[in-house]
């Protein structure tokens, strides 16, 4: 049984929740980690294990308020890994979430969608900040 993989967010690293049993796959927050390869390696390893016996439908959510170019490469690696799920007749979909008005995040999602071979939804959501 594949154990859930959970990382709490920090000022420079995103929250990561990968849980096969709950069918919940999400990376959210900021990703400006010093050594992206080191940070993302356990995520790749978890996904590689998951690919061996995936759920019938995998919806992988990205909700990154900010990420640098080296983290963008890591996101692409994750998407390329997720593409392997489709080859076995399972369904996978990427959901790119961005906060209302965050044009940069929306554009990054659009750029990634163009090169992805996966169904890819880009979804705007309202900010839950109540700064009046």
CA angle 35, 9, 51 (to 5 degrees): 70
Count: domains in the chain? 1
Q: Could you tell me if residue 116 is inside a domain?
A: yes
Q: What is the CATH number of the domain that holds 60?
A: 3.30.750
Q: In this structure, is residue 130 part of a structural domain? A: no
| The predicted structure's pLDDT at residue 132 | 45
From residue 95, alpha-carbon distances to 3, 16, 123, 130 in Å are 23, 15, 7, 25
- 3-17 pLDDT, tens per residue? 999 999 999 999 999
22: Cα separation from own chain's centroid: 16
pTM of this prediction?
Answer: 0.92
């Amino acid at each position: 049984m594949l154990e859930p993989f959970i990382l709490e967010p920090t000022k420079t690293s995103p929250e990561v929740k990968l849980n096969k049993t709950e069918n919940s796959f999400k990376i959210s927050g900021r990703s400006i980690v010093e050594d992206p390869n080191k940070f993302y390696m356990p995520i790749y390893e978890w996904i590689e294990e998951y690919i061996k016996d995936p759920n019938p439908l995998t919806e992988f959510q990205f909700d990154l308020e900010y990420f640098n170019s080296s983290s963008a490469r890591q996101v692409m690696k994750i998407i390329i890994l997720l593409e392997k799920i489709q080859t076995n007749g399972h369904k996978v979909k990427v959901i790119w979430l961005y906060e209302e008005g965050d044009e940069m995040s929306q554009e990054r999602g659009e750029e990634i969608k163009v090169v992805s071979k996966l169904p890819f939804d880009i979804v705007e959501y309202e900010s839950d900040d109540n700064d009046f």
